[in-house]
Amino acid sequence: MIWEVFRRERKGQAFEHAGSIVAPDSEFAEAWAREQYGRRGESVGLWLVPRDAIHDVEDWADEFDLKYRRVDGYSIKARLKEARERASSRPR
Partner 1 sequence: MADRADTLLALADDELVIGWRDSEWTGIAPMLEEDVAFSSIAQNEIGHARAVYELLSDDADALAFDRPPGEYRCAPLVQLHLLDWAHTIARRWLYEVADEIRITALRDELPVAAKIDREEAYHRMHAEMWHERLQDEPRFRDAVSELWPYALGVVLPEQRAALSARVGLEEVEAVERGVFDDSFAALHEEMTMVRRSAPVGAQW
Whole-angstrom CA distances from 45 to 37, 55, 64 are: 9, 22, 43
Query: Does residue 31 touch partner 1 according to CB under 8 A?
Result: yes
Residue closer to partner 1, measured from CB, 34 or 67: 34
Q: Which helix (H) or strand (E) holds 46?
A: strand 45-50
Query: Does residue 34 touch partner 1 according to CB under 8 A?
Result: yes
Report residue 75: phi and psi, to 5°: -90, 120
What is the closest distance, in whole angstroms, from the C-beta atom of residue 3 to partner 1 in the complex?
A: 11
Count of residues that interact with partner 1, criterion CB under 8 A = 13
Residue closer to partner 1, measured from CB, 40 or 77: 40
